[in-house]
Amino acid sequence: MTTISEVTERVARGEITSQKLTEECLSKIEALNAKLNAFITVTADEALAQARQADKEIAAGRRIGPLHGIPISLKDLIDQKGVRTSAGSQLRRDHVAAEDAVVTARLRDAGAVFVGKTNLHEFAFGTTSEDSGFGPVRNPIDTSRSPGGSSGGSAAAVASGMSLGTVGTDTGGSIRIPAAACGIVGLKPEWGHVSTSGVVPLSRQLDHVGPLAASVADAWLLYNAMQPHENQIGDQLDPAPLDGLRFGKLSGYFFDRLDADVEDRVRDTIAKLQQKGAAVTEVSVPHAADMAAIYLHLVFGDAAEYHARTLVTRPQDYTTPVRLRLEMARYVLAEDYIRALRGKALIAREVDRALDGVDALVLPALAIPAPPLGAQTMPVKGGADAVRTLMLRCSQPFNLSGHPAISIPCGKTRDGMPIGVQLVGHRSRTPALVQAALAVEAAIAS
Amino acid sequence: MRILEIGAARGDVTLILAAALAHDGLLIAMEGDAANVAHTRDRIRAGGYDDRVSVMSGEPGRFLHKVRGPFDVIVLHPGHETLRGKLAQLLRPGGVLISGDRKYSEKDMTIAEWLAQAKADAEKRGLPELVPMLEGLAKATEQLRAADWNDNPDKDTPRDHD
């Protein structure tokens, strides 16, 4: 995979133009999209116009920064002015955004070129990107499999070179799951740290917007550009020295139900960190087993509220699986929703406690490799579990708790499918998490 | 009005009943624990209800034969449910037996009631596919309600760290 960090230096030196980079992405889309279905809308003309403009500015010595002229994509849940925001649903097939989302505007200010809007699980309400009003997304590494989701088209686009970076959203794992399943990096920022204004909601209290990219450094570049100007702290971070880092390995629940290869590779990664001088201690989240039930009631209640009117007026415009899950969501009782809110606060405190005395938590990003399209269950240690449960298992805790979390590729299964390791950082210390992630990425590569 | 209370404990309900009773009424409160009896008697005296309330010391199951009916109201607290048959004989015709053994959690809509209503509603709306899905949701709700971090008024007053 081409990284933004490498290529942007060549753009700055005039060795390659934005137009050339953009054309390369557009021709990859042309060649691969019929098969992968990663894009719902391709904005080729607008992208090329942006690229030519960027080339002029860079040639004139007015380079804005590392994202200037870099072709990226947006999950089609995020508004881009003048372009349809379908949310992966026929319900919004005619909805053209009047304005950029805040995150789109910031990336536009940074000079990014937008090649198109990526496919997703309809309304982000699922983890496989199979149930989309525009057809299922396929995993570029094995097209018989899901790319994960809900930002499946985004991950497929970066993994196959159709865009050099992308913006996804993550309500229960929708950035980290497809990043792990497609072998790229996904950063779920701390809750509230990247604006969700202009992004179709699933659950406003759990929704996060963040980058998926080919490397940790690229994810940081994109994340930094998504910040308001006054919060931007620099395009490049140095890796933390591994021998000064303390990791908390989450025990129990988080390693209980894993694919055997996933478990082996994540354990190998942790062992490697120790060999290189990092301190690793076992930590726990005592009520981890309650998280799925807590998450379900919150996301159902919130989604039911947003979709209540169109479930009545336009039910035929939803895919059947998503419509039925939204209908089911309407039966959650208020008292159970309140219980779940209290559970959410409890989990946040327990994650804070687990982080006490360590720099980051370490655990798998995704319990299983990318599941075959249509799979209902997947084998894990000790039996088989529902795909949906397994997909969310390791990621949703940090949507409940709001902590920043990043998924980094850490090897492959014996079938060649990517595996992701996840690091979770302290609140208000996302740069420190990314510095640890840079060190872990380098250790894995060594 | 004659009232019999079985298992008065520390007299919380006894005081409420006493306050509701007219001067010529009678409340007999039975309690097996001597310390509880003393505490309840103190509270009754302090409330000025000793003219109409008698707190009997002794296990209700062993000393019930000493009580002469009939009563207009019998209040039966948890732990003495086996006396229900005998108590019925102490009620005057048309009298009321109040069984105060329902805890907060049991007063919630039960999962089974909720599931039955939701399923019937889904069928009525022509969405039979929802029935097995609702059973899945019910399992998650059951887990949520059973979690040990739930509060209820029977437990300690919530503190900030909870």
Most B CBs within 10 A among A287, A327, A331, hence the mutation to make, goes to A331
Q: Is A75 a catalytic residue?
A: yes
pTM value? Answer: 0.81
B130–A324 CB contact, under 8 Å: yes
Q: Is A151 a catalytic residue?
A: no
B133–A297 CB contact, under 8 Å: no
Instruction: Return the percentage of chain B with pLDDT > 90, whole number.
Output: 46
Mean per-residue pLDDT over chain A, rounded: 97
In chain B, residues with a C-beta closer than 8 Å to the C-beta of A293 are 140-141, 143-144, 147
H helices of A188-332, where? Answer: 216-226, 253-256, 260-275, 291-313, 320-329
Which pLDDT does position A31 carry in this prediction?
Answer: 98
Which pLDDT does position B86 carry in this prediction?
Answer: 86
- The interface predicted TM-score of the complex, written ipTM, equals 0.87
First to last CA, chain A: 18
3-class SS at B102?
coil
Give the CA distances from residue A424 to residues A179, A275, A288, A359, A392, in Å, rounded to whole numbers and listed in that order. 15, 21, 15, 9, 15
For the segment B9-28, the average pLDDT, to the nearest whole number, is: 89
Q: Which two tokens stand for residue B101?
A: 């053994």
Segment-wise mean pLDDT, segments of 10 residues, chain A, 446 residues = 96 97 98 98 98 98 98 98 98 97 98 98 97 98 98 98 98 98 98 97 97 98 96 94 97 95 98 98 96 97 96 96 96 95 96 98 98 96 92 97 98 98 98 98 97
A343–B147 CB contact, under 8 Å: yes
Q: Is A5 a catalytic residue?
A: no
In chain B, residues with a C-beta closer than 8 Å to the C-beta of A343 are 144, 147, 149
Residue whose C-alpha is closest to residue A168's, from A133, A201, A210: A210
Q: B106 pLDDT band (50/70/90 cuts)?
A: very low
Per-residue pLDDT of A380-403, as tens digits, reads 998 899 999 999 999 999 999 999
Interatomic CA distance for residues A252 and A320, integer angstroms: 36
In angstroms, the separation between the Cα of residue A291 and the nearest Cα of chain B is: 9
The most confident of A96-105, B18-27, B141-150, by mean pLDDT: A96-105
The answer to whether the CB of A164 falls within 8 A of the CB of A71 is: yes
B145–A287 CB contact, under 8 Å: no
The answer to whether the CB of A122 falls within 8 A of the CB of A318 is: yes
Residue whose C-alpha is closest to residue A167's, from A110, A211, A101, A117: A211
Contacts of A409 by beta carbon, 8 Å cutoff, 6+ apart: A180, A183, A184, A185, A418, A419, A420, A444
For the segment B135-149, the average pLDDT, to the nearest whole number, is: 93
Tally A–B CB contacts below 8 A: 60
Per-residue pLDDT of B29-52, as tens digits, reads 999 999 899 999 999 999 899 899
Residue whose C-alpha is closest to residue A340's, from A305, A290, A389, A306: A290
Which residue among B133, B134, B141 places its CB closest to the CB of A336? B141
B137–A328 CB contact, under 8 Å: yes
Give the CA distances from residue A96 to residues A79, A102, A150, B158, in Å, rounded to whole numbers and listed in that order. 8, 16, 21, 49
Indicate which residue of A28, A75, A188, A344 is catalytic. Answer: A75
Helix/strand/coil percent split, chain A, to 5: 45, 15, 40
In angstroms, the separation between the Cα of residue B34 and the nearest Cα of chain A is: 40
Q: Residue with structure tokens 């889904």?
A: B122
Q: For residue A164, what is the DSSP state? A: S
Interatomic CA distance for residues B82 and A57, integer angstroms: 90
pLDDT at B105 over 70: no
Residue whose C-alpha is closest to residue A437's, from A301, A315, A278, A308: A278
pLDDT at B101 over 80: no
CA angle in degrees (0–180, nearest 5) for A408-A410-A413: 130
In angstroms, the separation between the Cα of residue A328 and the nearest Cα of chain B is: 6
For the segment B12-18, the average pLDDT, to the nearest whole number, is: 89
Indicate which residue of A73, A129, A163, A174 is catalytic. Answer: A174
B137–A300 CB contact, under 8 Å: yes
For the segment B56-63, the average pLDDT, to the nearest whole number, is: 90
pLDDT at B107 over 60: no
